[in-house]
Amino acid sequence: MSPAPVSLYNTLTRRIEPLQPLAPPRVTLYTCGPTVWNYAHIGNFRTFLFEDLLRRWLEHAGYDVFQIMNLTDVDDRTIKAARQAGKPLAEHTAPFTQAFFEDRDYLRIKPAHVYPRATEYMPAMIALVARLLERGVAYRGEDGSVYFAIAKFPTYGRLSRLDGREIKVGARVASDEYAKDDPSDFALWKKADAEDEAVGAAWDAPFGRGRPGWHLECSAMSLEEIGRRFGVQTLDIHAGGVDLIFPHHENEIAQSEGTTGQPFARHWLHGEFLNVRGTKMSKRHGNFLTARDLREQGVDAAAVRLLFFQTHYRQPVDFTDQALDAAKEGVRRLGEFRGRLVERAPKDNESGPLSSLATRLEADVAAALNDDLNAPRAVAALFEFVRGANRELDRPDVSGGTARALAAFGRMAGVLDVLPTPKALDPELASWVEERLGARDKARKSKDFKAADAIRAELAARGVEIEDTPQGAKWRMV
Ligand code: AMP
Ligand code: ZN
């Protein structure tokens, strides 16, 4: 079966276009990862969550996605932070890398297939700089660093539309981050200074001892990964937050295409910011919240996911406690509804009104997500389904199709992954449940279905959901 058509906005063309991977059903997806100088905040995770939904939806549509997420473990910020902490770079970044993986799991983000760490890709980075020097698009400045000559790359600025802006030949910038009105030659390789040496962030290279610029890292890691694994030099999708369009992604294109002569990525996707009272959430502004803050407050990750998915990824989200509370309530309703379906499913017939509602749910979610990953429309379809199905379940003479509805609801809520986290297990409760299940089994065997149903209700009242399977009854907390 060939994958379903998925259309996505492409920053390169500023249009919504059908995704056309190089070699379907494979999709290579490169998502710029965290800079592990500190804990990631939930603004960073808004971007990683939009990418998680993208990945899950493409997989649901039948694509075979290979996701690469790099870890920026050497750049201006990590070096500065390591210096301030008085630690070698690797020692400073290791716990933040670990924390990132923990936060990712808490937020139910599917792990990427590989997490290349910049410090482990030095040979690829050095080779890339050497090739750019050979091709004459890079030069060694008198400060000992190597720069990319943007005037030698005629399509520079195509992604960020710098067309009108004057490119001052030879104007240079050494820092990893700079403003859009400063299109200058940027550092590919920075000559090692005393601070770099002090934290162990310096490597030998034919063009001088130094360290990579941040932009170089992503070009080298992505090309190395897709080249080695798939023998290609073009990514199907490259994604990140909107702040990466310039200079980061613009420079990645220049470096990569300046080396390979091939398009670097076919589709560019950028997610909008998570804001707080209209200002971008960032460490710099001090208006941030980390994933671990939310976890410590006992916030169910499903609520964070629902909160973010209620807004389209190309629209800003303003984070407020009220919005989070509303999302928590939404998640609770979804869980309660699922409980109702589970309760009803074993007693119901195959087809009926719930089954047609389920067909509509799947069609509506697919139409929404195929249309530039319109998650808010998918969420609306989910709640519309809950309303419609609840009305059916309220009728005394129900109804038909509950099992089908449960399956469809599970699949669609599963793509968004917004159902409540099952509650942690209390061992005393667990042994009580086992005892009750034994009693229910006995009652069923002696065809005392009234007693069996009463036990099911008794369990449900304490939040235990039962599912009868050929291997016996399974249970979980809801
Ligand atoms: P960094 O760790 O700073 O390299 O950023 C990791 C990712 O988070 C990048 O894709 C950024 O574009 C993204 N990002 C940073 N701040 C925000 C924010 N407030 N809202 C959404 N995404 C963000
Ligand atoms: Zn990157």
pLDDT of residue 477: 77
Provide mean pLDDT across the span 78-85.
98
pLDDT of residue 398: 64
Ligand nearest to the CA of 69: 2
pLDDT of residue 164: 65
Does residue 350 register a pLDDT over 80? no
Cα 308 to middle of ligand 1, angstroms: 14
**Terminal alpha carbon distance of the chain:** 36
Between 47-61, 79-93, 299-313, 441-455, the lowest mean confidence (pLDDT) is in 441-455
Q: Which residue has the tokens 């994933």?
A: 291
Does residue 465 register a pLDDT over 90? no
Provide mean pLDDT across the span 368-377.
98
pLDDT digits (tens, 9 = 90+) for 320-336: 999 999 999 999 999 99
**HEC-encoded secondary structure of 355-409:** HHHHHHHHHHHHHHHHECCCHHHHHHHHHHHHHHHHHHHHCCCCCCCHHHHHHHH
Ligand 1 atom with the shortest distance to the CA of 275: 19
pLDDT of residue 236: 98
- pTM of the entire predicted model: 0.90
Q: Using CA positions, which residue lies closest to atom 15 of ligand 1?
A: 44
pLDDT digits (tens, 9 = 90+) for 283-296: 999 999 999 999 99
Cα 361 to middle of ligand 1, angstroms: 33
| Helices 76-85 and 89-106: angle between axes, nearest 10 degrees | 110
What are the φ and ψ backbone dihedral angles of 238, each rounded to 5 degrees? Answer: -125, 130
Provide mean pLDDT across the span 379-394.
96
Contacts of range 250-254, beta carbons closer than 8 Å, 24 or more positions apart:
250/156, 250/157, 250/158, 250/159, 250/160, 250/162, 251/148, 251/186, 251/215, 252/215, 252/218, 252/219, 252/222, 253/155, 253/158, 253/159, 254/137, 254/148, 254/150, 254/153, 254/156
Tokens of 236: 């199907």
Provide mean pLDDT across the span 107-127.
98
pLDDT digits (tens, 9 = 90+) for 165-179: 777 778 899 898 888
pLDDT of residue 322: 98
Angle at 378 between CA 381 and CA 339, to 5 degrees: 60
pLDDT of residue 180: 78
| pLDDT, the chain, mean | 94
Does residue 363 register a pLDDT over 70? yes
Query: Which band of pLDDT confidence, cut at 50, 70 and 90, is reported for residue 460?
Result: confident
Ligand 1 atom with the shortest distance to the CA of 77: 3
Does residue 461 register a pLDDT over 90? no
Tell which wins on pLDDT, 399 or 207.
207
Does residue 97 register a pLDDT over 70? yes
Query: Which band of pLDDT confidence, cut at 50, 70 and 90, is reported for residue 370?
Result: very high
| Helices (H) then strands (E): counts for the chain | 15, 16
Query: Is 243 near ligand 1, meaning CB less than 6 Å away?
Result: yes
Cα 248 to middle of ligand 2, angstroms: 7
CA distance 444 to 449: 6
Cα 26 to middle of ligand 1, angstroms: 27
Q: Using CA positions, which residue lies closest to atom 23 of ligand 1?
A: 44
Q: Using CA positions, which residue lies closest to atom 11 of ligand 1?
A: 241
Does residue 1 register a pLDDT over 70? no
- DSSP one-letter code for 110: P
Provide mean pLDDT across the span 241-262.
97
CA distance 333 to 210: 55
Distance of CA 60 to the CA centre of its chain: 15
Does residue 389 register a pLDDT over 90? yes
pLDDT digits (tens, 9 = 90+) for 178-234: 887 778 999 999 999 999 999 999 999 999 999 999 999 999 999 999 999 999 999
Q: Which residue has the tokens 């870890």?
A: 71
Cα 225 to middle of ligand 1, angstroms: 23
Ligand 1 atom with the shortest distance to the CA of 47: 22
Could you give the percent of the chain with pLDDT greater than 90?
83
Could you give the percent of the chain with pLDDT greater than 70?
99
Ligand 1 atom with the shortest distance to the CA of 288: 19
